[in-house]
A and B are shown apart, each in its own frame.
Chain A
């Protein structure tokens, strides 16, 4: 009997083994680039900023770090990141802690799922410790909030830079050139217009196209690229996504003011003397928003206008903000403001694309990628879109990405690099990286 058992076992295992399909996996070719010393240049997304803050996990999952892992297939060396301590909760640009998805109780006592800060304050020690001597020199020059005009500024005071600066008088650009990269990626320019958009176009300013280095967009970008490519380094330049693609501006609809017939009539009545054009109906209505160009400084929002994600929702729900109380300018982008911002982005993008082609660098059309995400697509059976929380791509700050979103973004860089330089860097398996974490 034992003999038969052994025989059956032997035959079975032989069949199982001999049946195993084999593949010839294509080799990863470096093409005509040398990525041994890869440096990433950019702002929040490049640093890995997510859920409103920078933390160790977020840094690990930046598209730049994920890309560097794939570049190792074609010879990249270690990608050094100014890591925050693994035990730190991290810190955001208003000294805030990162957010997680959790249950919150609103002014009406309703409990719902939404972003909850991990702590009342971020880890301030992150900003008070310079890690250059212990961890540097670095390869990831993602500096949250940096504008193209900040790169040559000696002693640039941004706390995210100060913690990784080589000295108190260095500039970001001098630190980058000291690294002497053989290959770089650059994803810059968004903050030059986004800071203005994030303030509802009520404060901050847009970097002008013209002007000397440190003032104008074009000369500042050219200066960075010229210095980077002076020693023959190759690289990839990304453009800037339209703000229309971002969850931050699309989550709260312009007409999310829902009224019953009685309230609609009462509100219309309330506004009728001063503003006969303001009109409320049963169902969804445009919010009452501030607009300085109007006779009394307000009007009803129209389709295409954005209510920002940082609007105090309790004021909307319990204190009549948007109906009897005007939504302040800082939480609203009007059509005219959106138009200004979008025109600026288009102009910036023309400059970025021109310099990429003039210098023979790969051009990563992430504007197209973010547009595709706004529409939504399916990746390996997973639906990805730009919807807040549920879309899987945007982190809880509505501007930066989840690890899954970052992996997809890194793949856009890989595709552009492979196409430009005849390399064959394998893409990341983006489904291996999580979206928003649900409690």
Chain B
């Protein structure tokens, strides 16, 4: 009898998320021009991010501000219906600000503060798209504040460490497959602030005048959402099944271990190579814990099953004139997302990043760097949880500019 009266509106709320795509490697215009490599090539204050151990070798007090407007266009071709859906995501603006302070001239100790956005993106799918009940919009932002100490042990060896405080927000929306007499579907919005802690340590070794090695470890930061707000719009007759209320969740931002090599061919010509090992295995489950559970609104646990992965980044820099520098680079990233787990949040795939950049010295103090990145992602998959089946394609164009001031 109960079964008849109780409307068990069991709605799947597997709030899913982000991929390697939500790791944003846009932290410095010089490095971006060179495929994202820079762990062993110390050029300016952005070393605070790329290798805290090498920052002590940058002999200057300087600030560096950069922004990289990122234009990402995604699309999905449904394998069964041939329907194409597109994203109309807003332009995201990852930024980085670095301040490096020399306590006194040529001292071995340097202090720095880095503020940057290593993770985050906004994906907005067009209205009424095929996968609307899996996701309509995801906004993820994380800003890292990293006070850093860098110490030069001797002329060849430097070590450094930064403490990371991360602050962010997450906003996830999807439609609920319950329709009212006016043809409106339900909608769920999860909105929350998140924070977490971590660190960034590095060693820099200048083996010879021409050859240097860097090794860094950026720790995992577990972003915890403890006070999130879940809001539901559903037909009024089932409103009691979807009470607004708090939810808790967490999202691991993975650790990254990087080995970097740099080689100076001559005064004008530099090469850099980085290998990242990213600890994405930490992201095995995404769970949402609702404060007010009902038969329809149950806590969810969705398997993500990410795997640890490598990325290879290489680039070259050539000083054409005294003022003018040109850069070019290439990166290859292996996706952490296994087959069967590709989601519309970040339809990740193995990727090649093509990058180029220029630098221009405006006198002794001021330096401008610009960069450009293009990448194309393509992945055919059938998600095991939602059964959404088809091909995702994403094109990313990211032009960036930064200004450095040397005191």
Residues of A within 8 A of B (CB): 11-12, 15-16, 18-23, 25-26, 28, 101, 103, 112-114, 251-253, 256-258, 313, 316-317, 377-383, 387-390, 392, 411, 426-429, 431-432, 434-435, 437-439
Whole-angstrom CA separation of A312 from B156 in the bound complex: 89
A25: B residues at CB distance < 8 A: 77, 82, 84
29 pairs of residues in contact across A and B, judged by CB atoms under 8 Å: A15-B71, A19-B396, A19-B397, A20-B75, A21-B74, A21-B75, A21-B394, A23-B84, A26-B82, A112-B5, A256-B3, A313-B4, A377-B387, A378-B386, A380-B388, A381-B14, A381-B388, A382-B133, A383-B10, A383-B11, A383-B12, A390-B7, A431-B133, A431-B177, A434-B183, A435-B178, A438-B179, A438-B180, A438-B237
CB distance from B105 to the nearest CB of A (A): 39
B391: A residues at CB distance < 8 A: 23
B1 adjacent to A252 (CB under 8 Å): yes
Known contacts A18-B397, A434-B179; is A429 also within 8 Å of B74 by CB?
A: no
Q: Is B385 an interface residue (CB 8 A)?
A: yes
CB distance from B121 to the nearest CB of A (A): 14
A437: B residues at CB distance < 8 A: 179-181, 235
A382 adjacent to B177 (CB under 8 Å): yes
Known contacts A19-B396, A26-B82, A258-B2; is A392 also within 8 Å of B177 by CB?
A: yes
Q: Is B207 an interface residue (CB 8 A)?
A: no
A380 adjacent to B82 (CB under 8 Å): no
Q: Is B292 an interface residue (CB 8 A)?
A: no
Residues of B within 8 A of A (CB): 1-5, 7-12, 14, 69, 71-75, 77-78, 80-84, 86, 91, 128, 130-135, 174, 177-181, 183, 234-238, 376, 385-388, 391, 393-397, 399
Whole-angstrom CA separation of A28 from B393 in the bound complex: 22
Known contacts A258-B1, A438-B238; is A381 also within 8 Å of B183 by CB?
A: no
- A18-B397, A19-B396, A21-B75 given. 15 additional CB < 8 A pairs? A20-B395, A23-B391, A23-B393, A26-B82, A103-B237, A256-B3, A258-B2, A380-B131, A380-B134, A382-B133, A392-B177, A434-B179, A435-B178, A438-B178, A438-B180
Residue A389 contacts which of B7, B12, B71 (CB distance < 8 angstroms)? Answer: B7
Known contacts A19-B71, A316-B1; is A429 also within 8 Å of B81 by CB?
A: yes
A383: B residues at CB distance < 8 A: 10-12, 177
B235 adjacent to A390 (CB under 8 Å): no
A427: B residues at CB distance < 8 A: 80-81
B75: A residues at CB distance < 8 A: 20-21, 23
A439 adjacent to B180 (CB under 8 Å): yes
A435: B residues at CB distance < 8 A: 177-179
Residue of B nearest to A311 (CB): B4
CB distance from A278 to the nearest CB of B (A): 19
Residue B8 contacts which of A16, A101, A390 (CB distance < 8 angstroms)? Answer: A390
A256: B residues at CB distance < 8 A: 1-4
A429 adjacent to B78 (CB under 8 Å): yes
A101 adjacent to B237 (CB under 8 Å): yes
Instruction: Kindly list the 5 A-B residue pairs having the minimum CB-CB distance in the complex, ordered from nearest.
Output: A381-B134, A438-B235, A21-B393, A256-B1, A381-B386
A381 adjacent to B131 (CB under 8 Å): yes
Residue of A nearest to B9 (CB): A390
Whole-angstrom CA separation of A28 from B82 in the bound complex: 9
A380 adjacent to B3 (CB under 8 Å): no
A380: B residues at CB distance < 8 A: 130-131, 133-134, 386-388
Residue of A nearest to B73 (CB): A19
A381: B residues at CB distance < 8 A: 12, 14, 131-135, 174, 386-388
Whole-angstrom CA separation of A379 from B387 in the bound complex: 6
Residue B128 contacts which of A253, A313, A432 (CB distance < 8 angstroms)? Answer: A432
Whole-angstrom CA separation of A180 from B74 in the bound complex: 47
B9 adjacent to A426 (CB under 8 Å): no
Whole-angstrom CA separation of A380 from B385 in the bound complex: 9
CB distance from A429 to the nearest CB of B (A): 5
Known contacts A12-B91, A16-B73, A23-B84; is A253 also within 8 Å of B3 by CB?
A: yes
